[in-house]
Structure 1
Amino acid sequence: MAELHPRLLADTRSLGETTFCWIRWMNDQRFAWLVLVPKHDNIREWYELDADEQHELLDLVNRCALHLQSLTGALKMNIGALGNLVPQLHIHIIARQQGDPCWPGPVWGNGAVVPWPESGQPHWIKPLRERLSYRCA
């Protein structure tokens, strides 16, 4: 059974999941930021998934980006699968606003993370969960 990489577990919180993928949000108040993680061990690259899983992941990325942009009014959606520090395949979906703390540069490695209080979460979590029809596991 696949397990979530410890770094992803530490840096993110659960939004929900499908049978194929964990849907998590980055615990950083500065950005509306999702991380999608296919439930596979030892998969680093998108092309290592079988064709059906590649399409399922693309569909989920597109749905999450569409709804996150709609809920946040983001000017630009950044989508990437870097994996340089965390080898487990994971896809970042970040809603960017002109004037956000890192605009127009990348968010990775820029500035200090501003975590949410233990009981806090972004305003867009509940409506996004409803739009995606997933409940937090």
Structure 2
Amino acid sequence: MAEFELDERLARDSVSLTKLGLCDLRLSRDSRWPWLILVPQRPGLTELFEMTPLDQAMLTFEQTLVASALKKATGADKINIAAIGNIVRQVHVHVVARFEADANWPGPIWGFGQSVAYEDDRQREFTTSFLEALNT
């Protein structure tokens, strides 16, 4: 059986926060939005329907858990969840906190402006706040 390998673009554009039961939970390096990415640790998957029914259920559970914690940690107006994968074909799910005052509201985050990297303190602060919300 093939071993799981993270797509190089996901590795470059995000940092791992923790491992859940199925997914590597990653933080996007773009600080314009609180933006998390769930990557099921299964080799060779490009479509959600390729996952086993158990993994599909686990992914649904984990994305709901992450979305709830993100809402709690940020007080967002809306949580967006998407699995698009046109460029990065490895199965992954975006969970993004949106605010009515954020860049490009209510439009999509993709293809808008330039990425803004986190300052170390801000990334640490967000990570601590989010992980506390996830673990409560």
TM-score w.r.t. length of structure 1 = 0.90
Q: Is the contact between residue 29 and residue 122 of structure 1 (CA under 8 Å) also seen in structure 2?
A: no
Q: Per-residue displacement from partner, 1:80-110 (whole Å, max 9, x unpaired)? A: 0000000100000000000211111000010
Q: Give, in whole Å, the separation in 2 of the partners of 1:46 and 1:24.
A: 18
Partner of 1:38: 40
- Tell me: CA distance 1:32–1:19, structure 2 relative to 1, closer, same or farther (3 Å): same
Q: Is the contact between residue 73 and residue 133 of structure 2 (CA under 8 Å) also seen in structure 1?
A: no
Unaligned runs of 5+ in 1: none
Partner of 1:129: 131
Bigger RCO (CA 8 Å, 6+ sep): 1
37-46 vs 74-83, which deviates more?
37-46
Shift of 1:16: 0.5
Shift of 1:14: 1.1
Q: 1:21 aligns with which of 15, 20, 23?
A: 23
Unaligned runs of 5+ in 2: none
Shift of 1:42: 1.5
Shift of 1:19: 4.3
Partner of 1:97: 99
Q: 2:62 aligns with which of 50, 55, 60?
A: 60
44-53 vs 110-119, which deviates more?
110-119
* SS of equivalent residue, structure 1 residue 99: coil
Alignment-mate amino acid for residue 89 of structure 2? P
CA RMSD of aligned residues (A): 1.5
Q: Per-residue displacement from partner, 1:47-105 (whole Å, max 9, x unpaired)? A: 11101111110000001001101111111111000000001000000000002111110
Structure number with higher helix proportion: 2
Q: Is the contact between residue 37 and residue 91 of structure 1 (CA under 8 Å) also seen in structure 2?
A: yes
Q: Is the contact between residue 70 and residue 97 of structure 2 (CA under 8 Å) also seen in structure 1?
A: yes
